[in-house]
Every structure is written in structure tokens, then in C-alpha cells.
Structure 1
Amino acid sequence: QETEVDKLLVERMMDPLLHLVRNALSHGIEDPETREALGKPERGRVVLRAAAEGDLVCIEVEDDGRGIDLGAVTARARERGLLGPDETVTPDTVLDILCAPGFSTRTESDLTSGRGVGLSVVRDAVEDLGGHLDLTWEEGQGTRFVIRLPLTLAILDALLVSVRGETFAVPLSAVREVREVNMEMFTEVGGDTILPYRGRALPVLFLSEAFGLGRPAEAALQMLVAGTGRQHYGLVVDRVVGRREIVVRALDDPLVAVQGIAGATDLGDGRAVLILDVVSLANGGMYERGNAVLHSI
């Protein structure tokens, strides 16, 4: 939600996304009686979500159904001649089998099952746009398809932050909260900076240090608690300037295509602002070349 992409991308992905939803309804969600026997809610759930992830648009289709039956996929693949009699489908190969042209575990097609054409149409459409399709599942609990597409032009909500006189944008979807902090609250452990946070040690990154500008001298600072999934960290900035919608533009120049930078945006007053990739920042990708990036824009 709150993630907008250009019209062409939406048009090209409409049918593949509908196919994934049909696939979840046909292959994933159990009938009400089975769900009740398994202790699940009688009504199944299919969720479609989208968010910015670095320089990509990440689209997920997730259901709470039965997951992937590797035995059924193996049997059908053998019938189709995709596997030898002694070969089996593994978690590493199942997506390739499911995306084989025309492959489906159903012997009869209908409108719900996606006309029996299989998932090849989905992966073909994603790869035609320069993207990538991933699959994860938990047996008896559900399946999740993840589509990652290049973020050439998208509109998203962002926080504008100030660091030593420079302004940066951070995708709001990656920010959990903003906290007031001061230098006395941080602790150094083995060369890393941490902050006690909700009963655990939160790794902390000073954005000014990431760009080779040293630690801030101000006593009062602000920290973004950011990250994805269960991996979170604190991103310390001088202050949060505000929140606004920004148009994301990819950086095609190889001199500025650096890990930790998702793109750039124009604030409308002639200023170009870098958009930060919080996932790469958490992995320390900015330290070696951050200063060069800052001064090359």
C-alpha cells in the first residue's frame, strides 16, 4: 500500500498478478471443511502488497493455504517428462518446474485455476520487465510469491532528513518509528554502536559517519528505527525535515550506482536529493564509498 508505479508497469503486471491470485485460490486455499479441521479460519486469506525495496518495487502475493505439495509437483513433472523416474522436485528446483511452459498440477482448467497455463506466463512477464520472481512457502501454512521489478519511475512516501547540511530521503515503508536521542544513550561494543531498544540491543548507524563526515556534534539528534522483517537498526540523523511524496528516478551513471543509494529525486526547488536504501545501509554497504557518492552528485 501507498506505493505507486508508472502506468505502463501497472498495465503489464495486471494479468500476471491476477494469475497469482487465481493460483492462490485454486491451488492454495483449502475448502472450508478442510480449513476447519486444520484449525484455520473458515475463510481463506490472499494478500497483495507492494513496497519500495532499494531500487526495486517489491510486489507480494501471499495466501494462508496449504503451501506447495512437492510430492504432487514431482508426480506431475514425471508425467510431463520434466523429471526422470528417480528424480524429485526440491525446494531449490520447484519454481523452475512450476514455471515450465504449460505446467499445472490440475488436469482440468477453469477460470479460477488460471486456464491451466501454469506460472510460466507470470515469470515471463516479470523477466520481460527486467524483474525476478521468487517463491517461499510453509507446508500447511501458506505460499508467498515475491516479484521484484526495477524501480525506474515510482512515487512513494518518504521522510526527508538532514545530515550536516545535506538532505536525504528515506522510504517511509522502511521506517518503523522516529525517536529523539542524544549521544549519551549509545554504547560501544566491539567497535559497534548499539542502543537499548525494547529489551534488545539495536545496531546503530550514524549517517554522517557513513558519508565520511564524522559523528555529529549536536547534543539532540533524531533516530529512525528502520529495516525489514525482523532485522532492524537505528539510523541517526541531525533531524527529520518532513514527509512528502517523491518521484523516484534511477541513477544510470555507473559512477553513482553505489550500494546504499536507491535513486534520486527532485524536490522541485532545484535540489537533487539522494534516496537511501536502508537494507544496504544496514549491511554496511555505504562506508567505503559513501563520501565519494555524496560529492559526485
Structure 2
Amino acid sequence: MLEQLSSVFFDEANELLDNLEEQLLALSDNPGDSETIAAVFRAMHTIKGSSAMFGFNEISSFTHEAESAMDQVRNGIIPVTPELITLLLKARDHIRSLLDAGMEVAPEIHQLSENLILEFKVYVQKNGGNVNDPPPQTKKIEKPKHDDKATTWRIKFRPSTTIMQNGTRPELLIKELTELGTATVVPFYNDLPPLSEMDSELCYFSWDVILTTSKTKNDIEDVFIFLDSDSKIEVDKIDLLPGENNKIGEILVSRKDVSQGDVDEILSAKKQLGAMLVDKKIISEEQVRSALAEQQHLKSLNSNGQAQQQAGTQSTTLRISSAKLDQLVDLVGELVTFNARLDQEAVRTDNPTFKNLSEQCDRIAVMMRDISMGLRMVPVGTLFQKFKRTVYDLSTQLGKQVEMVTVGAETELDKTVIEKLNDPLLHLIRNSVDHGIEMPAERHEAGKSETGTVTLSAKHVGAFINISIRDDGKGLDRDAIRDKAIQKGLIKENETHSDEEIFNLIFQPGFSTAKQVTSVSGRGVGLDVVKKDLATLGGTVGIESKRGKGTSFILKIPLTLAIIDGMLVTIGGTTYIIPLNTISECLTSSITQEQMDATFITTQNHGKDLVSINLRKFFKIEEPLPDHQEIVSVYDGDDVFGLVVDKILGSQQTVIKPLGNLYRNCTGINSSTILGDGAVALILDVFQLTSLIKSHLKKGESPAAE
């Protein structure tokens, strides 16, 4: 049991540290943000208390020093400066090291704790703070102060019966009121007549509203500025403290619904106050209900005067082991393969009962696949957020001013893919900050803002996700890249190449245009690894760059590496699979004998030219030609192209299996799957094939298949 509790502590501590890094980077952009300062303090305080509870005294005593510094920042004694942010980020990293060390802290790690504690004391003392803070065991934790900016008001709205005849909608006034802050609304309907006697033009309701807001009394009264003279509105400030254990009697007296003498008389009978007051007809049930709502509203306010989530809306998330989730997806994959075999047997035997069972199994497999894959999908923002620290540290090290912007962080991607994207994205971001963004003085001379921007964006394109890393720096130097490539023997001096081809040379191993080797770059290690890592994911990387404007690296990554819907096709005697989400339509072709002998052909589709790649010719399949061939038109995110196949068999769920190293560099193939009969089918790399078509259109020549 103790091990399970410790595991929970580690999980929560690591989550707090991830959030803490995000908060510190946000604080560096806005040093005066009191909410972020309070959030950093709370994170430090929680880590300190939890670590002490589980016996991690080294973490507790060290975190106490950082918490003490933040407490003085929170109280306005010492300022937030870049020096403090750097120190707090060091402390955050050190706490993670202490977590990794566990109970047994090595002497060098303990010495690092002492060094950082000294740095905190020096900073606090240098900035006029108090370093004689009591130790964690004796420090008195003060109750957070109530935010004076937020005030709680009691609004009693008693509209006239004929208010709606004047064109006023009382419910819209209540809605406008609730938009001013956190509100609890209590309707009164004791004047509501029987349905047979009700007049639809009359108003029978009234309301009490308990509102916590930073707005003034005048702002609240302005909501009712056009109220008719027969309607009544009362706005009173509630003097009872939020979060305190306010008695219902105190609230009723504060509301002037009853006198203190009435309350004392009822309490002496030692019965429920509300029920007794109603029985004695001192107040109505609606007044008690409104007072109870006010009591609950006050309880729900935290120290900042903001409403906490009610129990009914609390998140019901559950942490599960990543290994168990992977095991579940593997089992679903086995179920998909089994279902494919079952489907084939049902067709072969032509047994109605068997076919019905196959259809039911197919529905269950699809639902389980969607649910299990949904569990693996996580927002790509969880990955993007990690790089804010990278940009901060690197720009500080290089003396540059760089901010990172994210777009489409809510876009979801398979967690396995996200884990494997960390290193490629890290290399590309470091490249953008180091090579792309200029020094502040250079940017100023170029008429740019001294602060450069690196933008990470993500969006879905069919079964893939496009991730771009864009900087507003100086762009790639085409001439420098070309000269370096000639020097390294990658191209010849008399050859003509497009910008895209020249730019792609930077992905060659050992390629670098840096004039000197630094701790950040210059050794030519990085971008070639990026391309290889993306290839293992079935992804690609492209470059767009404009001199003086910036550079974009565009990654095209499959959404998942586990299970996809695919279209089965045959070419010769071999079965292939085309990812279903890339397919636009299936066409019966009218290919001439002359076209069958060409690798690239052009046909008409909906009155437009459709350029296709003849896969039989491309894969050098020598088996006899069928009577006719078919074309599958596919969309690669930019345009529609065709894949010429022998026959289209139909769609099927496909469990993706990686290819061995021997077949890893086969052009046009990115993975494989096992069919229901145990045969292996190859999954076509649509984006690689369409890239070959685009290359053919640019050059006017046919690239050979490998």
C-alpha cells in the first residue's frame, strides 16, 4: 500500500513540476501577474508538504527555500526578475533530480541543494528580503488572504406583474447579471397560479441572486436602468466572509428576513431553524431556500473570492499505466486480425449464421478500436509545451530575444507518435533559434522587432497531422548551402537545382554551414537524424524558406501507428493496402496499351487531368496484365493524384506492423499488415508515391523504383 501511495506522490509531483515550468515561463513574460505568482507559490507549497508526508525530507527542506522566496514575492517584498526566474527553473530541475534519486540522495546532489539554497538566500537578501525564515517544521502557514477586488452582493429582483407588456424580458436581465461574475440564482414562484388561470403576458416570478464580482454596485444597478417604476430591485453587500462556516441564522439576519430575537427563540428549542421559522410563518420556504443557496455560494468561494467547482462537476479522470494501454491496443489489434479471418471464412462457407456473427464481431471490433485508439490520443500541446523551456534557455544562452507561439495545440495525436516526435522537434526548434533567429541588433537593422518568434502549429490533414516549425528569422542562405554541397561533393558545380532540392541538402549527414563549432551547433549532427526519425514514423519533412523572412519546417506524420482502415488492392499476385483516409474515389480506368507501358500516365476524371503512377510498372511486376486496370485517386493534402492497380478488393481494418530493416528503404512502402488468412500485405506510402508524381511533373522524367 505504501508503494502505491508513493507512486501516486511521484506522479502528482512530476505533474506539478511540468505545470510549474509552464507557470515560470509565463511569469517571465508577465512578472507582475499576481495569479501566476500565487500559482507558483502553491505548487512549491504542495510539493514541500507532500514530500514531507512521504518522508522525502531532502525535497521538503530544499523546496522550502524556494517557497520562502516566492512567499516574499507574493507579499511584494522582493521583485520578479530574470535572475529569479532562472533560479526558480534551476530549482524546478533540481527537484526533479531529487525525485529521481528517491530516498538515497548522493553527496553531490545534496551539495547542489546547498548551493542553490545559498543562491536563493543571496538573491532574497540582495533584494531587501528576509532570509531568517523559520524551518519547515515550525513555519506557520498563514491562511491566504481574501481578494478584496471581488465583492459578494445580494440582489433581490421583484419585477412587476406587467413588466413584459412594456417589452422588458426579466430573464435576460438575470442572464446579464450572471455574466458579471460568479452567480447563484434562486427563483421565487409562490405567486404562480394554476395553468388554467395563467396569463402568458404577465410575470409571476421573482429572483434572488447572490453575485461575486469585481464590478461596483453602480455597475450592477445599471443592468436594471430601464426597469419600470413598479418593479423593485435591492442590491446589498454581503459582509459575511467567503469560505467561513456561516450559520443559516446569521445569513437570515443579514438578509433582514428575520430578527436576531426570532432566531434566538427558535434555537432555544433545539430544532431545525429553517423548518421552525416556516412553521411559525415568520418566513416563507422560498426565503429559506434562497438563504441556503447563499450559504452554499459563500462556502464555494476560495481565498481569491472565486467559485470552486461543485462536486457534481469534478473531473473523473483516472491514471492508468501506459504499458497497460499499449497492451489493450495490441489485444484490439489481434481482435481486428481475428475478425478479418472470420469474415473471410463467412464468405467462403456462405453460411448465413456465420455471416451474422461476423458482422456482429465486426461492429464490436470497430467500437473497441475507436475507444482504445481514443484513449491513446493526446493533445499535441502536451509536447509543444515542453519546448517553451528549450526556447527560453537557448535564447538566454545565445543572447537572443525569442518567444514561442503555439497554434492548434488541441490537435490530438497518438501518444506513441508524440513520444517519438520529441527528438526531431527538439532538433528543429534548436536549429530555428540558433540559425534562423538573428541577434537583436541585426533584427533592428533589418527593420524587424528585436524579439524573434518561433511558431509551432498543428492541424489534421486526412489520416495525417501536419506540424510546422516556423521562424521569422533570416531564412536559408541558398548560395551558402549550394557552395557547401559542392565542396562536399554532393552536387556538381554545373548542375541546376531548384530551391527545394538545395534546401533539402541540409538533411545530409554531417552537413552544416556554421562558420564555427559551438555548444549549440556547427557539427552537422541533427537534421539528418530528424529525417531518419520521421521516416521510422512513416512521416516526411519539407522546407519552405524566404530570404530575410524566415524558414518553415513542415512535418507530415500519421495520426497513429497501430490500427487504420485500409483499402485492399492487388498488383500482380501481391496484395497491397492503401490507407482509406487518403482515398478520394475509386475509378474504372480506360488505359491504353501504350499507357500501360509507362510509369506515369494522364487520364481524364470529371473533365480534369488526373496524373497517376502505374504501380505495376513502378514495382517492376512482370506477371501477365489483367483485362483492365483500376485507378484509386488519393489526396495528399495538396492535390489529387492516381494510383493504378490491377483490382480493388474492398475495405478492411488493418493492424500496422513495422517492416524489418531489410525492407525499410523500399520506396512507396512504409509498413505491412497480416491478413485474415495469415498472408502479409504491404501498406503503400501514399505521400511518397505522390511526391514521385510531383517530381515527375517538375522534371518531366520518370524516377526509377528502388
Range of TM-score over shorter length: 0.5 to 0.7
The AA in structure 1 aligned to 2:534 is V
The AA in structure 2 aligned to 1:95 is F
The answer for the alignment partner of 2:543 in structure 1 is: 135
Normalised by the length of structure 2, the TM-score is: 0.23
Alignment of 1:158-237 (within 5 A): none
CA distance, structure 1, for counterparts of residue 412 and residue 522 of structure 2 = 26
Match among 407, 412, 415 for residue 4 of structure 1: 412
The answer for the alignment partner of 2:451 in structure 1 is: 43
Displacement of 1:281 after TM fit?
11
The answer for the alignment partner of 2:473 in structure 1 is: 65
Q: Secondary structure at the match of 1:145?
A: strand
The answer for the alignment partner of 1:32 in structure 2 is: 440
Q: Deviations over 1:51-105 (max 9, x none)?
A: 2111101111000001111111112112212222334653131233111111011
Give the count of matched residue pairs.
180
Are 2:512 and 1:104 equivalent residues in the alignment?
A: yes
Q: Please tell me the root mean square deviation across aligned C-alpha atoms, in Å.
A: 3.4
The answer for the alignment partner of 2:484 in structure 1 is: 76
CA distance, structure 2, for counterparts of residue 282 and residue 109 of structure 1 = 39
CA distance, structure 2, for counterparts of residue 120 and residue 131 of structure 1 = 14
Q: Bigger CA drift: 1-10 or 119-128?
A: 1-10
CA distance, structure 1, for counterparts of residue 506 and residue 481 of structure 2 = 8
Identity %: 37
The answer for the alignment partner of 2:564 in structure 1 is: 250
Return the index of the structure with the highest Cα Rg: 2
Greater RCO structure (CA 8 Å; 6+ sep)? 1
Q: Deviations over 1:132-186 (max 9, x none)?
A: 11111121101001100112269xxxxxxxxxxxxxxxxxxxxxxxxxxxxxxxx
Alignment of 1:278-297 (within 5 A): none
Change (3 A) 1:116 1:259: same
Change (3 A) 1:107 1:89: farther
Normalised by the length of structure 1, the TM-score is: 0.53
Q: Secondary structure at the match of 2:530?
A: helix
Are the equivalent residues in 1 in contact too, given 2:458–2:466 (CA < 8 A)?
Answer: yes
Structure 1, gaps ≥5 residues long:
155-248, 262-278, 286-294
The answer for the alignment partner of 1:204 in structure 2 is: none
Change (3 A) 1:254 1:38: same
Q: Secondary structure at the match of 1:251?
A: strand
The answer for the alignment partner of 2:430 in structure 1 is: 22
The AA in structure 2 aligned to 1:254 is L
Change (3 A) 1:296 1:100: closer
Are the equivalent residues in 2 in contact too, given 1:25–1:112 (CA < 8 A)?
Answer: no
Are 2:588 and 1:259 equivalent residues in the alignment?
A: no
CA distance, structure 2, for counterparts of residue 17 and residue 59 of structure 1 = 9
Displacement of 1:7 after TM fit?
2.3
Q: Secondary structure at the match of 2:555?
A: strand
The AA in structure 1 aligned to 2:491 is L
Are the equivalent residues in 2 in contact too, given 1:74–1:89 (CA < 8 A)?
Answer: no
Structure 2, gaps ≥5 residues long:
1-408, 570-578, 586-634, 642-650, 654-706
The answer for the alignment partner of 1:86 in structure 2 is: 494
